Structures are given as C-alpha cells and as structure tokens.
A = this chain, B = another copy of it.
Amino acid sequence: MRFGRRGFCKAWQGQIKDAGYRLTIPRQVILDVLANNTGHLSAEDIYLKVHKIYPQIGLTTIYRTLDLLVSVGVVLKSDFGDGRARFEIKIKDKTHHHHLICTKCSRVIDYTDFIDKELKLLAETKKGLSEKFDFEITGHLIQFYGVCKDCRS
C-alpha cells in the first residue's frame, strides 16, 4: 500500500479515530484512493480503484465508508445532477470552490474565481434569510451548468 499525501493522511486518520471509529484496512485504502485522486469520483469510480489495491472490498463498504467520511468532515459529497453522487476529499488549504458542470459530458471544473464576491453575497443572504424565515442555515449550493469547449465542437 503506497500512501501519497502522507502528512494529510495522518490528519485524516486522526479525524476518524477522534470520532470514535476504528481505523480499518478498507478505510485506509479508501482514504488513500481519495487522497490520490482529486477529481470528482463516483462511488463506483472509487470502488474500481480500491479494488485494484484491495480486491476483497465490497461496494457496500465503499458506500458506508464514504458516508462516514462525509459525516466526519473529511470528504465532500456533491450532486451534479447525473444521478450519482460524487466525492472529493477536503484538502487543507485548498480554497473553497464551486463547480462548473458540463451537461453533455459531466466534466466538472472547480472554480475559485469570483468566489470572494460569491461568499460575501452568500453571507449577507444567509443572514437575511435566516432572520426573515427563522431558519438555521447550515449550508448553500452554487453551481453553474453549461456545455464545455470539447462538447460544442
């Protein structure tokens, strides 16, 4: 088992243990795969990659572990509208970003441009909405959809 981003892995493993969960082989391998594939992976993508390293893995464990990692805050789960969830590990220091999604090929681009303005507006809106509607706002979603260069040619 080759661990990339070893420094981060330690921290992530700590988060799992701190939350009272056991640090099992499947969890380590899944974490390793996520750490070394910064794209937006589906559960099946992750299954296939983990399977190469640890063939006895079950798809069920992938789903269960991803849930766990999301609940612990190590992984971000996104829905790009193509009927399957996508997962990406939260890398410390990586700027908060939003997604630009190609509706033809499902390619996803992380963008951080304009993020400051977006976040400022979101903060204001969040405040206004929670006061007006008496909501405890816990999150937001901003995504842009379109057709990428390749899919137009």
Contacts and interface: CB of A to CB of B under 8 A. Distances in A.
A142 to B, nearest CB: 5
A37 interface: no
Contact of A141 (B114, B132, B136, B143): B143
Interface residues of A, number: 37
Given A113-B128, A118-B125, A144 B137 contact: yes
Chain A contact surface mostly? mixed
Interface stretch (A6-14, A16-24, A145-153): A145-153
A141 B141 contact: yes
A134 B149 contact: yes
Interface of A: 79, 81, 100, 102-103, 109, 111, 113-114, 117-118, 121, 124-126, 128-130, 132-149, 152
